[in-house]
Amino acid sequence: MYFSSWLSQLYRGFSRPIGRTTQPIWVPLSRNLMLGSQRKMPEFSSFVARTNTCGELRPSHLGQEVTLCGWIQYRRQNIFLVLRDCHGLVQVVIPQDESAASVKKVLCEAPLESVVRISGTVISRPPGQENPKMPTGAIEIKVKTAELLNSCRKLPFEIKDFVKKTEALRLQYRYLDLRSAQMQHNLRLRSQMVMRMREYLCNLHGFVDVETPTLFKRTPGGAKEFLVPSREPGKFYSLPQSPQQFKQLLMIGGLDRYFQVARCYRDEGSRPDRQPEFTQIDIEMSFVDQTGIQSLTEGLLQYAWPGDRDPVVTPFPSMPFAEALATYGTDKPDTRFGMKITDISDVFRNTKSEFLQDSLSKPQGTVKAICVREGAKYLKRKDIKSIRKCATDHFNQEVLPVFLKANSNWNAPVAKFIEEEHGLELTRMMELQEDDVLLLTAGEHAKACSLLGKLRLECADLLEGRGVVLRDPTQFSFLWVVDFPLFFPKEDNPKELESAHHPFTAPHPSDGHLIYTEPEKVRSQHYDLVLNGHEIGGGSIRIHDAELQRYILSTVLKG
Amino acid sequence: MYFSSWLSQLYRGFSRPIGRTTQPIWVPLSRNLMLGSQRKMPEFSSFVARTNTCGELRPSHLGQEVTLCGWIQYRRQNIFLVLRDCHGLVQVVIPQDESAASVKKVLCEAPLESVVRISGTVISRPPGQENPKMPTGAIEIKVKTAELLNSCRKLPFEIKDFVKKTEALRLQYRYLDLRSAQMQHNLRLRSQMVMRMREYLCNLHGFVDVETPTLFKRTPGGAKEFLVPSREPGKFYSLPQSPQQFKQLLMIGGLDRYFQVARCYRDEGSRPDRQPEFTQIDIEMSFVDQTGIQSLTEGLLQYAWPGDRDPVVTPFPSMPFAEALATYGTDKPDTRFGMKITDISDVFRNTKSEFLQDSLSKPQGTVKAICVREGAKYLKRKDIKSIRKCATDHFNQEVLPVFLKANSNWNAPVAKFIEEEHGLELTRMMELQEDDVLLLTAGEHAKACSLLGKLRLECADLLEGRGVVLRDPTQFSFLWVVDFPLFFPKEDNPKELESAHHPFTAPHPSDGHLIYTEPEKVRSQHYDLVLNGHEIGGGSIRIHDAELQRYILSTVLKG
């Protein structure tokens, strides 16, 4: 079992929208991030020169002498200064009396983003001057001493959330961008969720965290690997795609329960959801079945989930691969919204359309459709055009748009082939209403499904671009996809079989006997974990029977 | 601050001696490894097909129906079988009655090390048959069902602690060697200590665990780095020696408290205490001083220390670099034993030995000695010869052995130069007694110290080879070495200075003013953590003052 790329999903979901206020709103990160309410707060100011963090000060601190270290975020008329550290902002009153001239000088002359240490007293803000949007907005600091630790030169951009920066500029000055509330939040969230996962695995369930080497031999098959020249000419190490081989050896070694937050490498260029190096939670258990590892995983996510979010509901729904393909046209369905694929072959069983008849007469021939609710309101002519182009470009397949008009008449090229009773049947099957648009295609089952699965997501993008909310970005729809086929016909020689995942995946317990008779029908014990349409994890029960493994390698796969 | 190579030290100290019993003694690892007694035991059998682990069964389980999975460790006369899993051993009674013939067949025919699943009842052993050496020795399992999960072929060695294997064989069959009690213990100990460190840093003190990239640019200076060819011809990534640059950027980014269990790479070949890839605990804090980071580190080790060991006593003793050099001849003294270096220059101030006079008249010229207690009893002629050879080979320096005879006479080449009052003075200074051997050398301070520091360890090895226990292997002597010089004269041009560690290390607060006048006298805020003569960690306070940093780079180091 592994998890990866789950974190970017979570960031997306957990991101707090940044409002258009002129003052950045710092939610107290530390409190927000405390996972599980019973836990003690960490001591954020142990061992250091400050007594408190800027962001933690509240009316309960009134009268306390504090020492704070932080960055000058903001200064108003040389009277107020807002100091920032990793836990938030606090307002500091710059002293105006003669005797504190040196303190005033430090605080007024230091450029914004300079690092200072101040000490002073926590006092109430004068009545009416409280800022309820700011967690520390009820208090301010009356300064006694101030020391400039480091002066700041002019920065390429202001460290304020409302100041828009291009991504290129942010990446160029990554070390400055990290000062933003959002980036601080992301890094802390990741740290704490991974820590909670470790607690769950190590402390609650006796897993052993084993670090495996990264300078190793090549693994045959799989992704392209990075090579590292060794000291011996002509010999190379390989950076691992995953700790696969090591963890299997650890299981043979009797480790029983292994996990690792493992760095993996793939020399395949970067994509939005794939980087040359990435991290996955890598898990291996002895004596477990698929239900066991799924329960473990669900418990893991539930335990690691941030305490300020709706808790994760378990068990996660489960869907066989065949159903995912037929209903969503993909093995990683985004189940946050419907627009499911419907098989409407029966409606056209006796159609006069030669094109449809022709498609239906072929093996696995079908007519299928998705319904874009109120599509006629939102989809423009150019959208339909681009949808049809996408179908021909990527799937070499026609897709026909069917508009249901107010008078329940059909407005489509195929309309003439839809007899009245079939039209009614279609309306009933797909629960069609006025202004709905049907996207209809005919062809081989898997291909038609894949096409409509792709168009389903395209349409969702288009509708959301027009302001319709289909996929709630704060919703987390977990889904197990199970019962994958164990083998697929080879693309270049469909009479031979190849492993759908890898040759060590165990067959489904109910299908064991089919291995010897109809191996192409055998389902596997491979399972994927899908979140909002992204595969975030997966794994399989391995074959532990040497004889079966040998049979599969030598006879089924003709290795 | 970083830690590395500390774990091998700990293994050495924590290793349980393996007795010469015919039955391996499995200490219940899980209990032993529970760090901190108040913690709840992990559920080692959650989610899987067993109800219990083999090693956890006790009389409190009597009468319980259990299912166990494990390896056949041992079989006696087809009546008893010992089953092993990662938590220990349990005795299983093979049923002899006709009705259980199939169970008997499975258990008697499976080769040793085969994997089986059994279910049965926990029963008391018959009186007199208890095995007090075995944690589960009071009970045994009356089997009901048995299933062979995987049969074992003949192995290259038996998985029994008392079976001696060469290291080469163990490494060739690493996955089998991992089944040994000792290796299981080591891997679990590491996992749990690192987990405790994470708890201390993350949960108690608010550190953020940040994973930094390993495919990065070259770092100038330092160790030789591994290169990784990129997809762009002629361009290479470099695997980092440490996350140094990243963690500095994270501090600039306001992360405040960073840590990482970081993989580091050095392309410098393997040595017993150095591997091409290794792991260090990498820590960085803002607004901290040397005392703060030392306290944090002491607390970290104390918190992570295994509960079944004597607790770590803090604060650790601290020793200036100059004292470590003068007393132990090294910056990483093994303080588990004495045999300290003594400066006896004064005794020879007026000696008639031209050789000694000559040495003393040079700058930094000294006469120094270490005393090997009862050396005359243990050191053989060939030992003395090899000690003297070591001195000339490695230090190009003479060392003179001086034996104190029963009659308090001196037996040594220099004896004639030791006048009676000086002899008495020497005896008093070094607390000499009969049979003690003095190793005496004359020369420049640092060189004489280094030589005697090396000989001190050589002598310890020699004495321990003769059965004298000088360094208790179960003792952990932590020591801070502090106040290193900030700069050293360059070897090839002693008029110029170079950084003792790196140019970002801050000067000692008391020596700040000397930077501008006598930089060679400035002590640094660099500190090393030494355990039993090995450097296991170290770090420094960094310069945060841009002006000072600029002065050091451009003027002191003439960069």
Domain count, chain B: 4
Question: pLDDT value at position B527?
Answer: 97
H/E stretch holding A184 reads: helix A181-198
B281 domain residue, yes or no: yes
**One domain for residues B288 and B352:** no
Q: Higher model confidence: residue B219 or residue A384?
A: A384
Are B227 and A226 an interchain contact pair (Cβ–Cβ within 8 Å)?
no
User: CA A297 → CA A183, A484, A501, A559, distances in Å?
Assistant: 27, 19, 20, 33
Q: Which domain holds residue A544?
A: 478-556
CATH code for the domain of B30? 2.40.50.140
Mean pLDDT of chain B, nearest integer:
89
A173 domain residue, yes or no: no
CA-CA distance, A174 to A159, in Å (whole number)? 12
The alpha carbon of residue A102 is apart from the nearest alpha carbon of chain B, in Å, by 20
Question: pLDDT value at position A163?
Answer: 85
If phi > 0 it is left, if psi is from -120 to 50 it is alpha, else beta; for residue B182 that is alpha
B71 domain residue, yes or no: yes
What count of other Cβ atoms lies within 10 Å of the Cβ of residue A60? 9
**One domain for residues A154 and A78:** yes
Instruction: Please enumerate in sequence order all residues whose Cβ is within 8 A of that of A477, keeping only pairs 6 or more positions apart, or say none.
Output: A334, A335, A336, A531, A532
SS3 B368: strand
pLDDT range class, residue B3, cuts 50, 70, 90: low
Are A184 and B546 an interchain contact pair (Cβ–Cβ within 8 Å)?
no
Residue B10 has pLDDT above 50, yes or no: yes
**One domain for residues A453 and A484:** no
**One domain for residues B441 and B379:** yes
H/E stretch holding B396 reads: none
What is the tens place of the pLDDT at every residue in B148-206? Answer: 999 999 999 988 878 889 999 999 999 999 999 999 999 999 999 999 999 999 999 99
CATH code for the domain of A356? 3.30.1360.30
The region of weakest confidence among A9-13, A184-188, A254-258, A334-338 is A9-13
| pLDDT, average across residues B323-336 | 98
The alpha carbon of residue B444 is apart from the nearest alpha carbon of chain A, in Å, by 39
**One domain for residues B343 and B444:** yes
Residue A32 has pLDDT above 50, yes or no: no
The alpha carbon of residue B257 is apart from the nearest alpha carbon of chain A, in Å, by 9
Question: Which among A446, A454, A237, A247 is positioned nearest to A343, based on CA atoms?
Answer: A446
Are B203 and A191 an interchain contact pair (Cβ–Cβ within 8 Å)?
no
Its ipTM equals 0.91
Instruction: Please enumerate in sequence order all residues whose Cβ is within 8 A of that of A422, keeping only pairs 6 or more positions apart, or say none.
Output: A347, A348, A351
**One domain for residues B460 and B494:** no
pLDDT range class, residue B12, cuts 50, 70, 90: low
What is the tens place of the pLDDT at every residue in A199-238? Answer: 999 999 999 999 999 999 987 777 899 999 998 999 999 9
Share of residues in chain B with pLDDT > 70 (%): 91
Taking CB atoms and an 8 Å cutoff, what residues of chain B touch A176?
252-253
A132 domain residue, yes or no: yes
Across the interface, of A188, A206, A237, the residue whose CB is closest to B208 is A188
> A45, A209, A265: best mutation site toward chain B, by most B Cβ within 10 Å?
A209
Are A257 and B288 an interchain contact pair (Cβ–Cβ within 8 Å)?
no
In which residue are the tokens 């990243």 written?
B246
Are B252 and A215 an interchain contact pair (Cβ–Cβ within 8 Å)?
no
Question: Which among A474, A532, A536 is positioned nearest to A335, based on CA atoms?
Answer: A532
If phi > 0 it is left, if psi is from -120 to 50 it is alpha, else beta; for residue B529 that is beta
Share of residues in chain A with pLDDT > 90 (%): 73
Residue A38 has pLDDT above 70, yes or no: no
What count of other Cβ atoms lies within 10 Å of the Cβ of residue B427? 16
Q: Higher model confidence: residue A522 or residue B350?
A: A522
A534 domain residue, yes or no: yes
**One domain for residues B30 and B61:** yes
Are B265 and A215 an interchain contact pair (Cβ–Cβ within 8 Å)?
yes
A454 domain residue, yes or no: yes
Instruction: Please enumerate in sequence order all residues whose Cβ is within 8 A of that of A344, keeping only pairs 6 or more positions apart, or say none.
Output: A367, A368, A369, A426, A429, A430, A440
Cβ B212 vs Cβ B243: under 8 Å:
yes
**One domain for residues A454 and A365:** yes
Cβ B482 vs Cβ B531: under 8 Å:
no
**One domain for residues A287 and A190:** yes
Within 13 Å, how many C-alpha atoms sit on residue B559's CB side? Answer: 12
Q: Higher model confidence: residue B245 or residue A37?
A: B245
Across the interface, of B215, B256, B279, the residue whose CB is closest to A86 is B256
Question: Which among B509, B209, B399 is positioned nearest to A198, based on CA atoms?
Answer: B209
CA-CA distance, A456 to A450, in Å (whole number)? 10
**One domain for residues B58 and B81:** yes
CATH code for the domain of A215? 3.30.930.10
User: Of the residues B465, B491, B524, which one is the last residue of a structural domain?
Assistant: B465
Question: Which among A549, A25, A22 is positioned nearest to A248, based on CA atoms?
Answer: A549
Cβ A146 vs Cβ A117: under 8 Å:
yes
Across the interface, of A214, A226, A545, the residue whose CB is closest to B277 is A214
**One domain for residues A83 and A211:** no
B7 domain residue, yes or no: no
| pLDDT, average across residues A18-42 | 48
The region of weakest confidence among A47-51, A399-403, A531-535, B287-291 is A399-403
Residue A11 has pLDDT above 60, yes or no: no
Are B175 and A43 an interchain contact pair (Cβ–Cβ within 8 Å)?
no
Cβ A69 vs Cβ B287: under 8 Å:
yes
**One domain for residues A387 and A410:** yes
Question: Which among B464, B476, B474 is positioned nearest to B334, based on CA atoms?
Answer: B476
Residue B16 has pLDDT above 50, yes or no: no
Are A39 and B203 an interchain contact pair (Cβ–Cβ within 8 Å)?
yes
CA-CA distance, B475 to B478, in Å (whole number)? 10
User: CA A167 → CA A12, A18, A36, B74, distances in Å?
Assistant: 16, 16, 34, 64
User: Of the residues B438, B465, B492, which one is the last residue of a structural domain?
Assistant: B465
Which 8-state DSSP code applies to residue B48? Answer: B
What is the tens place of the pLDDT at every residue in A433-476? Answer: 888 999 999 999 999 999 999 999 999 999 999 999 999 988 99
> B48, B190, B288: best mutation site toward chain A, by most A Cβ within 10 Å?
B48
User: Of the residues A422, A443, A465, which one is the last residue of a structural domain?
Assistant: A465
Cis peptide before B315 (omega within 30 of 0): yes
Are B86 and A256 an interchain contact pair (Cβ–Cβ within 8 Å)?
yes
Across the interface, of A150, A174, A296, the residue whose CB is closest to B545 is A150
B13 domain residue, yes or no: no
